[in-house]
Amino acid sequence: MKPSSKCSGAGPLAAELLDGPLHGALPEYEEAHLSSAELTDVAPTEYRADAVVTLTRSGADVLAVVIEVQLRVDTKKRRS
């Protein structure tokens, strides 16, 4: 599944937001790129995201960020 068009350019932005305003501790990485947005599990349930950004270092994945675009404010989803 292709990432949502709402998330074009999300790779570097996701890392910048996590490292800055969202105060996340990021591992060292060299690249941030969009990955498949299909989040399947071994159970029959299938999960989908608007986009997935993968941070890599020396060709190895070090962190994945799942992006869901929110169209309105929902106080119950502040950091989910």
Q: Which amino acid is at 10?
A: A
DSSP secondary structure code for residue 3 in this structure: P
Report yes or no on 51 lying in a domain. yes
| Three-state SS sequence of 4-45 | CHHHCCHHHHHHHHHHCCCCCCCCCCCEEEEECCEEECCCCC
pLDDT tens for the chain, 80 residues: list them. Answer: 555 556 666 667 777 777 776 666 777 888 877 777 776 666 667 778 888 888 898 989 998 888 888 788 888 776 65
Residue 37's Cβ-side half-sphere holds a number of Cα atoms within 13 Å equal to: 18
Is the full-model pTM beyond 0.75?
A: no
Report yes or no on 77 lying in a domain. no
Token duo for residue 1: 């599944």
pLDDT at 24: 65
Report yes or no on 76 lying in a domain. no
Report yes or no on 78 lying in a domain. no
How many domains are contained in the chain?
1
